[in-house]
Amino acid sequence: MTQCEICGTEIKGEAQYIIIGSSKLFVCKSCARYGTIVVDKKTKPKSRVKSESRLYEQMDHEIEEGMEEGYGRRIKEAREKAGLKQAELAKRINEKQSLLRKIENEEIIPGKEVMRKINRVLNL
Ligand SMILES: [Zn+2]
């Protein structure tokens, strides 16, 4: 049997690989939302082993803050999925495109208000 590496329940049906930060996890469908779903199997993330407690700690933090490693990529992927250009999303959240670009490049960490707007527009 295959267990979800996040909640520990037996995975029924389709299991998914997700990436949280630098960890690659095999999870059930309901836990897939905690990370970025791996689609391209060719991209092999660097395996940095984290202890389980460390991971849970990180997850709690992420859920609380709504921020995680790879947030820029997550936003970019969600934006592209929504068929929006950087400028279009920037306009919708009433921010400058340069700011959005920096967020997607993870040069800056968006404030809660900006993040909330992005999440709302992209349904993250
Ligand atoms: Zn799970």
CB atoms within 10 A of CB 108: 12
User: Is the pTM value of this prediction over 0.75?
Assistant: no
For residue 97, how far is its CA from the centre of ligand 1 (angstroms)?
Answer: 36
For residue 108, how far is its CA from the centre of ligand 1 (angstroms)?
Answer: 31
For residue 47, how far is its CA from the centre of ligand 1 (angstroms)?
Answer: 20
Q: pLDDT value at position 55?
A: 54
The pLDDT profile of the chain, 124 residues, written as one tens digit per residue, is 789 999 999 988 777 889 888 888 999 988 988 888 886 554 445 454 444 445 554 554 444 444 567 899 999 999 999 999 999 999 999 999 999 999 999 988 888 889 999 999 999 8
CATH topology (fold) of 71-122: 434 Repressor (Amino-terminal Domain) (1.10.260)
Q: pLDDT value at position 20?
A: 86
Per domain, the residue ranges of the chain are: 1-40+51-69, 71-122
Quickly list DSSP for 12-55.
-S--EEEEETTEEEEE-GGGGGGSEEP--TT---------HHHH
